[in-house]
């Protein structure tokens, strides 16, 4: 009994920071419609900044002053990011906004290590709250009580702010109808910037308040953002009260989940989230999105089969790749095989994104599941490579069946957040279930059969798998199934009217994409001779997205080109600089802002500009993101 009480208290204390970060995310989303992936980065920056300032300023005044000052500094940084970056992409599809803010996250990770070093840092205790209170004979840190009280206080302050200041009323009005707010003479620019600053302030405060409880580390950002996504999915995006309630639910589930499933504590949270999603897909306190925005991947030029010239080009390309082993050395061939693996991975994601209109932020889950599936077969049944390559990907398929069933119930940002959360759950299972997966040490000794064990042999194997895989995906795009999917993507209502069941179509697309990701993952396992939890990690998922974006979402061959260019670039970058995340993040941001149509899209535009088609004005628009600007009202 006492134990339960103590555990409850500890859960409530954790809920405070989670609520702060999640409410910040929710407020920003409500007004700007942007899901700020960089929110975790600001949380982390808040903690680091507070660490530095509390180190300088001592005493009670110094400590609390430092916490507030740190949060304010980070809020200013957030406002700067809004002005420099986000103002350029408010009209862009959600995917671009998520990616751009993710790019910032990557950059911050390297910057933090540059400034504060890679080691975990230990902050000071809060003056006046260093001791512990005895509750039923157990010790509870007194700082926990402070945090427990803080949650409702902040909730109350936010409520006052939103109801008793003109600024707050404007924010609520803009959350409902921002165009009307502008039509009443309010400059949205500054409203957005100030809302962003407030949201980031809350995130940074959440981070700063953590320093007396936990060490400050450069992996705090991704850990919190996943939890925050889960919180807003449960509580409902845009609702502060929802963030409050869901933060408590999630923290309590974590506190007790550790007792019930010590190894895989996330399972409990996952189950609750799944139940909420089935009953109320827009969260406990959220509102259903009235008009979903056009998804990325609405093509301007209709997709078309290859022209004869392009067929020849493809054949030449494949042939050229096939003879590479006669010219390249072992290292180059291994790199080449890796690129080929990611060609299929990117193509499978591209299939889901363009044809299904679903931008997954957790596609690595199925890549990783395929890899682990193959590894389990080799390790536990002694299966040969051929069998493992055939059967292993079924685990990716199974994962896509289960996760996809939930995910396709949502769309847009909710879909993106949920796929990410599922991938993170898969990652934490691989990470925590050491007995089976080896945890962080991974599983080693997954070697290919003799005929494919030379770099040359494996390159051919990878090439065969990539060509066949991409070929099948392409056939699917032009099959009746692909047409049906695109119809349901372009107009949910219309396609339902002509009898296409959108959800099952998307589910099937999700499963197809997951299976092919699984195949590439299994191939990757044999290429590396090992599997690690990183295969399922967020960076792998985002790599896939960047490949598709780089190649050009609107194009058919974009994924292949994007994967080749990106992977080659990334491998080269890694060998050149320690700051690969900084460079990569900057590239992502630049891509989104300057080349939203990617390489292939850029080339196609160039071609159309040089030789405009005579047809009925279906030429390229200059507008960048490939969605017609939708006028607000009839």
Partner 1 sequence: MKLEVSSLNSHYGPAHILFDVGFEIGAGEVVALLGRNGAGKSTTFRSVVGLVSQRSGQIRFDGTDISRLPTYDIVRRGLGYVPEDRRIFTELTVEENFTVGRQPPREGVATWTPERIYDLFPNLGEMRRRPGGQMSGGEQQMLTIGRTLMGNPSLVLLDEPSEGLAPKIVEQMADAILTMKREGLSVVISEQNLHFAKLISDRAYIIEKGRMRFSGTMAELEANPEVRDAYLAV
Binding region for ligand ATP (CB under 6 A): 631, 634
H or E element: which one contains 42? helix 39-56
Q: Sign of torsion, CA 32 85 110 597? A: positive
* Parallel/antiparallel/unpaired status of strands 443-444 and 530-531: antiparallel
User: Per residue, what are the HEC states of 383-450?
Assistant: CCHHHHHHHCHHHHHHHHHHHHHHHCCCCHHHHHHHHHHHHHHHHHHHHHCHHHHCHHHCEECCCCCH
Contact 549, 102 (CB under 8 A): no
* Smallest distance, partner 1 to C-beta of residue 614, A: 17
CB-nearer residue toward partner 1: 55 or 179? 179
Instruction: Fill in the per-residue mask, 562 to 601: x = in contact with partner 1 (CB under 8 A), - = not in contact.
Output: ----------------------------------------
Residue 574 contacts which entry, ligand ATP, partner 1, none (Cβ below 5-8 A, type-dependent) = none
* Smallest distance, partner 1 to C-beta of residue 27, A: 15
Contact 133, 333 (CB under 8 A): no
Residue 138 contacts which entry, partner 1, ligand ATP, none (Cβ below 5-8 A, type-dependent) = none
Q: Does 160 bind partner 1 (CB under 8 A)?
A: no
Contact 393, 526 (CB under 8 A): no
Report the distance separating Cα 578 and Cα 21, nearest Å. 30
Residue 169 contacts which entry, partner 1, ligand ATP, none (Cβ below 5-8 A, type-dependent) = partner 1
* Smallest distance, ligand ATP to C-beta of residue 391, A: 53
* DSSP annotation string for 164-186: HSHHHHHHHHHHH-HHHHHHTT-
- Between the alpha carbon of residue 172 and those of residues 4, 200, 282, 290, the distances in Å are 39, 18, 19, 17
The interface with partner 1 within residues 614-633 (CB under 8 A) comprises 617, 628-629, 631-633
* Smallest distance, partner 1 to C-beta of residue 298, A: 13
Residue 173 contacts which entry, partner 1, ligand ATP, none (Cβ below 5-8 A, type-dependent) = partner 1
Q: Which structure tokens are listed for 301?
A: 């030029």
CB-nearer residue toward partner 1: 88 or 125? 88
Q: Which of 497, 478, 93 is closest to 297 using CA atoms?
A: 93
Residue 308 contacts which entry, ligand ATP, partner 1, none (Cβ below 5-8 A, type-dependent) = none
* Smallest distance, partner 1 to C-beta of residue 92, A: 16
Report the distance separating Cα 506 and Cα 358, nearest Å. 8
Considering only the C-alpha atoms of the chain, give the largest distance between any 2 of them, rounded to a whole number of Å.
84
Q: Does 300 bind partner 1 (CB under 8 A)?
A: no
* Smallest distance, ligand ATP to C-beta of residue 298, A: 17
Residue 177 contacts which entry, ligand ATP, partner 1, none (Cβ below 5-8 A, type-dependent) = partner 1
Residue 58 contacts which entry, partner 1, ligand ATP, none (Cβ below 5-8 A, type-dependent) = none
Contact 346, 563 (CB under 8 A): yes
Q: Does 159 bind partner 1 (CB under 8 A)?
A: no
* Smallest distance, ligand ATP to C-beta of residue 155, A: 39
Q: Sign of torsion, CA 445 448 449 453? A: negative
* Smallest distance, ligand ATP to C-beta of residue 88, A: 25
Write the CB contacts of 313 (distance below 8 Å, at least 6 apart in sequence).
none
CB-nearer residue toward partner 1: 4 or 632? 632
Residue 629 contacts which entry, partner 1, ligand ATP, none (Cβ below 5-8 A, type-dependent) = partner 1
* Smallest distance, partner 1 to C-beta of residue 90, A: 13
Residue 172 contacts which entry, partner 1, ligand ATP, none (Cβ below 5-8 A, type-dependent) = partner 1
* Smallest distance, partner 1 to C-beta of residue 631, A: 6
The interface with partner 1 within residues 164-223 (CB under 8 A) comprises 166, 169-170, 172-173, 176-177, 179-188
Report the distance separating Cα 495 and Cα 498, nearest Å. 5
**How many chain residues touch partner 1 (CB under 8 A)?**
24
| Count of helix runs (H) and strand runs (E) in the chain | 26, 4
Residue 628 contacts which entry, ligand ATP, partner 1, none (Cβ below 5-8 A, type-dependent) = partner 1
Q: Which of 616, 594, 583 is closest to 110 using CA atoms?
A: 583
Write the CB contacts of 250 (distance below 8 Å, at least 6 apart in sequence).
15, 18, 227, 230, 231, 234, 269, 272
Residue 475 contacts which entry, partner 1, ligand ATP, none (Cβ below 5-8 A, type-dependent) = none
Q: Sign of torsion, CA 120 121 122 126? A: negative
* Smallest distance, ligand ATP to C-beta of residue 186, A: 22
Contact 195, 171 (CB under 8 A): yes
CB-nearer residue toward ligand ATP: 435 or 634? 634
CB-nearer residue toward partner 1: 590 or 623? 623
CB-nearer residue toward partner 1: 435 or 634? 634
Residues of this chain that interact with partner 1 (CB under 8 A) are 166, 169-170, 172-173, 176-177, 179-188, 617, 628-629, 631-634
């Amino acid at each position: 009994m006492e134990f339960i009480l103590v555990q409850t208290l500890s859960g409530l204390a954790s809920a405070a920071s989670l609520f702060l970060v999640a409410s910040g995310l929710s407020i920003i989303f409500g007004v700007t419609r942007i899901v700020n992936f960089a929110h975790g980065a600001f949380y982390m920056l808040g903690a680091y900044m507070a660490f530095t300032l509390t180190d300088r300023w001592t005493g009670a005044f110094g400590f609390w002053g430092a916490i507030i000052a740190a949060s304010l500094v980070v809020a200013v940084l957030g406002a700067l990011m809004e002005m420099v970056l986000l103002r350029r992409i408010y009209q862009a599809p959600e995917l671009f906004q998520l990616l751009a803010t993710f790019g910032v996250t990557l950059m911050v990770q390297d910057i933090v290590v540059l400034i504060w070093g890679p080691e975990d840092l230990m902050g000071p205790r809060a003056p006046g709250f260093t001791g512990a209170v005895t509750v039923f004979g157990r010790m509870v840190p007194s700082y926990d009580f402070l945090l427990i009280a803080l949650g409702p206080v902040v909730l109350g302050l936010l409520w006052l702010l939103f109801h008793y200041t003109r600024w707050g009323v404007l924010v609520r009005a803009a959350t409902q109808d921002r165009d009307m707010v502008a039509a009443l003479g309010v400059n949205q620019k500054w409203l957005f910037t100030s809302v962003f600053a407030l949201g980031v302030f809350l995130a940074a405060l959440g981070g700063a308040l953590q320093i007396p409880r936990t060490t400050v580390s450069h992996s705090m950002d991704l850990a919190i953002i996943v939890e925050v996504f889960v919180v807003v999915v449960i509580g409902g995006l845009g609702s502060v009260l929802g963030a409050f309630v869901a933060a408590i639910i999630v923290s309590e589930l974590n506190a007790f989940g550790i007792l019930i499933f010590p190894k895989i504590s996330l399972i409990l949270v996952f189950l609750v989230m799944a139940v909420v999603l089935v009953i109320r897909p827009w969260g406990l306190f959220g509102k259903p999105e009235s008009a979903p925005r056009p998804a990325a991947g609405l093509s301007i030029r209709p997709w078309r089969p290859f022209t004869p010239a392009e067929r020849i080009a493809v054949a030449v390309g494949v042939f050229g790749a096939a003879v590479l082993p006669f010219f390249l050395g072992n290292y180059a061939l291994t790199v080449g095989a890796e690129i080929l693996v990611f060609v299929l991975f990117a193509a499978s994601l591209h299939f889901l994104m363009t044809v299904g209109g679903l931008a997954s932020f957790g596609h690595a889950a199925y890549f990783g599941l395929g890899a682990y599936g193959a590894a389990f077969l080799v390790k536990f049944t002694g299966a040969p490579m051929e069998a493992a390559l055939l059967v292993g990907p079924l685990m990716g398929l199974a994962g896509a069946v289960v996760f996809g069933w939930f995910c396709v119930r949502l769309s847009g940002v909710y879909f993106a957040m949920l796929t990410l959360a599922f991938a993170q759950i898969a990652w934490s299972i691989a990470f925590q279930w050491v007995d089976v997966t080896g945890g962080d040490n991974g599983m080693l000794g997954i070697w290919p059969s003799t005929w494919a064990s030379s770099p040359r042999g494996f390159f051919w194997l990878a090439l065969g798998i990539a060509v066949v895989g991409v070929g099948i995906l392409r056939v699917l795009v032009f099959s009746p199934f692909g047409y049906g999917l695109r119809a349901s993507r372009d107009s949910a209502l219309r396609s339902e009217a002509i009898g296409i069941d959108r959800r099952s179509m998307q589910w099937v697309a999700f499963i197809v994409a997951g299976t092919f990701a699984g195949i590439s993952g299994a191939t990757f396992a044999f290429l590396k001779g090992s599997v690690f939890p990183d295969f399922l990690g967020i960076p792998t998922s985002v790599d896939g997205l960047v490949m598709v974006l780089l190649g050009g979402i609107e194009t058919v061959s974009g994924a292949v080109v994007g994967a080749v260019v990106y992977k080659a670039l990334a491998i080269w970058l890694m060998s050149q600089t320690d700051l690969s995340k900084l460079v990569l993040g900057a590239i992502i941001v630049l891509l989104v802002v300057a080349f939203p149509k990617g390489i292939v899209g850029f080339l196609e535009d160039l071609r159309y500009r040089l030789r405009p088609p005579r047809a009925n004005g279906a030429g390229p628009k200059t507008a960048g993101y490939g969605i017609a600007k939708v006028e607000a009202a009839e």
